[in-house]
Chains A and B, each alone.
Chain A
Amino acid sequence: MIANLLPKTKYTVLPMEPVNKPDLETKKPEIPDGLFVKCPGCLRAHYIIELEAASNVCPNCHHHFRLGARERINTLVDPDSFTELDADLLSSDPLQFPGYAAKLSDLAEKCSEPEGVVTGLALIHDHQLALGVMEPGFMMGSMGEVVGEKLTKLVETATERKLPVVIVTASGGARMQEGIISLMQMAKTSAALARHSRAGLLYIPVLTDPTTGGVTASFAMLGDIILAEPGALIGFAGPRVIEQTIKQKLPEGFQRAEFLLEQGFVDHIVARTELREFLAKLLKFHSCCGRNSCDSGASRDNRVETKKT
């Protein structure tokens, strides 16, 4: 911490290829020594601490850098309202994949989160909700059994307690090392969401950079209302795979959030700084009418209950 504040004589200049060099976009722990980061949008250098204070959004061109799950939760929910669920769930290495167990324990030490998603119950402007936030810093938010199980449990809890679900996605897709078990998480999460939906409950996925592969082909696309962050890469196949398949360059802006909005797959693009207010508004629309309406009194009761747990 203190080392970060000391003046330095040398500054690191970072290359700026947002898609091919995703690691450089996320802040700690990938750039432990850097004080500055160059914005891939406007090429300006930003003081990292200032950038963090602005939720990793470039103050100049509003480019959205990737954001860790914990920081995301802090920007979204009412202070001290987040109660985490299943924090200690870990992968059982279902395929006994060579070298995977060692990689996981190595990452657990290096990364701020032990897996690809953080789940829990929280309040946004006093509206209670079940919240899942994927962690792009952990194996690119890839979905293995832990991501699938935590999200399924979250959705089941929400169905039981008649709560809306918000999932902030950021994932490169399936976790290769968990093979077919990863693939089955698509079916598992989708089935849980089907039950939640049939109970007349609201589900809002918020798609952030990147949302691809198995996550796009399951819970990311199953929302009643689908939101996306500006400029986020969203697609089934990654751009490189498509370019290899069709043997040509993809047009500028292909598979970006704005493209999906135009194609009709996203309801709204919402800037990170406005997301909390926007979600609060949508939650409010769904709390004052319809079959699962609950008055603000019930909402307050829930809050008491959450704090106790």
Chain B
Amino acid sequence: MTIDIEFKLREMKSKLADLRELADSSSLNLEEAITQLEEAIARQEKEIYQNLSPWQKVQLARHKERPTTLDYISLIFDDFVELHGDRRFKDDSAIVGGLALLGNRSVTVIGHQKGRDLNERLRRNFGMPHPEGYRKALRLMKQAEKFGRPIICFIDTPGAYCGIGSEERGQGQAIAENLMEMSTLAVPIISVIIGEGGSGGALALGVADRVLMLKHAVYSVISPEGFASILWKDASRAAEAAGVMKLTAQDLLELNVIDRIVEEREGAHRRKKEVALRLRRIFASYLQELCAKDPQDLLTERYDKYRRIGPGKTPAPDKASVM
């Protein structure tokens, strides 16, 4: 699937293909025209991806070709061994996790996994975890703490799954426990939102020392559709909702919810290796910085980072009460 923002681009590209075919099959010299069109396409591409609306970013974050956690793991890390199961109920494949090597540093990697084709997406419940997924994540995080390994989390989920089984097994309790435990895990934690950061289901892997976000990823309290449906009783106003929700990386950096935006130029699906390499470099430098910290300082800074968000306001005392 190509999303509608790329419509004009596709038109230009098919024209380019036509031109090339014509050049091959005839004796016409079309080189100049071809070069011009190629340049125009590059300009167009750049322009589109520099001026995406929040709703277009939502669509891009959900793009079916957008790289998944496992794509990044294989591109970023030097070795990876997946570990399975929460030891309580089952293995939830909407969350993957395991051991990885970044250079010569051993890390624990955990992330939502949406799936790359329909079969995998169905098997992985479109990256919407059940409680056992969050419990698996917590098991691996505790294990990381035991062995003094830093933790890297990839966030990419529409949200925690809403169903009978997930309620029966305590979806709220599982997420809550992750939030609480992550705030006191004595190893560095880095989280990166690579696609959709959907609500509590995303935050359950997102309490970290450094929170990164790909330039066209989104992160919000609820999906734009859910937001429009709750506030305006009309899910079809999702595009409008995206506009006021402040869910883009640029908005969230300004609100101090994230620490850094990771450039992805014309979309991570077109720049897979480039983005992976960039993430690798950023992880390495953050890990060097964070691993050097005293664990107690690390935890104090992590606490303060969240403590500062949303202080509210106290009305200024009016003159009468001052007097």
Q: Which residues of A are in contact with B by a Cβ distance under 8 Å?
A: 88-92, 94-95, 97-98, 144-146, 148-150, 152, 174, 176-188, 190-195, 197-198, 213-214, 216-222, 235-237, 241-242, 245-246, 250, 254-255, 263-265
Contacts and interface: CB of A to CB of B under 8 A. Distances in A.
A190 B164 contact: no
Contacts of A145: 309-312
A99 to B, nearest CB: 10
B244 A222 contact: no
Interface string B3-25: 00000000000000000000000
Residue with the greatest number of chain B CB neighbours at <10 A, chosen from A146, A184, A217, A220: A217
A187 B164 contact: no
A220 B184 CA distance: 19
B99 interface: no
Contact of B163 (A186, A214, A246): A246
19 contacts: A88-B314, A95-B244, A149-B312, A176-B230, A178-B310, A179-B247, A180-B257, A181-B309, A181-B310, A187-B306, A188-B306, A188-B307, A195-B303, A214-B199, A220-B172, A221-B172, A236-B166, A255-B167, A265-B173
Interface stretch (B37-45, B57-65, B107-115, B215-223): B215-223
Given A188-B310, A191-B307, A219-B176, A180 B252 contact: yes
Given A146-B312, A184-B257, A237-B162, A216 B172 contact: yes
A218 B227 CA distance: 20
B179 A149 contact: no
B183 A187 contact: yes
B180 interface: yes
A242 B221 contact: no
Given A90-B314, A216-B176, A265 B170 contact: yes
Contact of A217 (B163, B176, B226): B176
A177 B219 CA distance: 15
A217 B307 contact: no
Contacts of A188: 306-307, 309-310
Given A94-B255, A221-B172, A180 B200 contact: no
Given A176-B227, A186-B200, A236 B172 contact: yes
Nearest to A226: B173
Residue with the greatest number of chain B CB neighbours at <10 A, chosen from A94, A179, A214, A255: A179
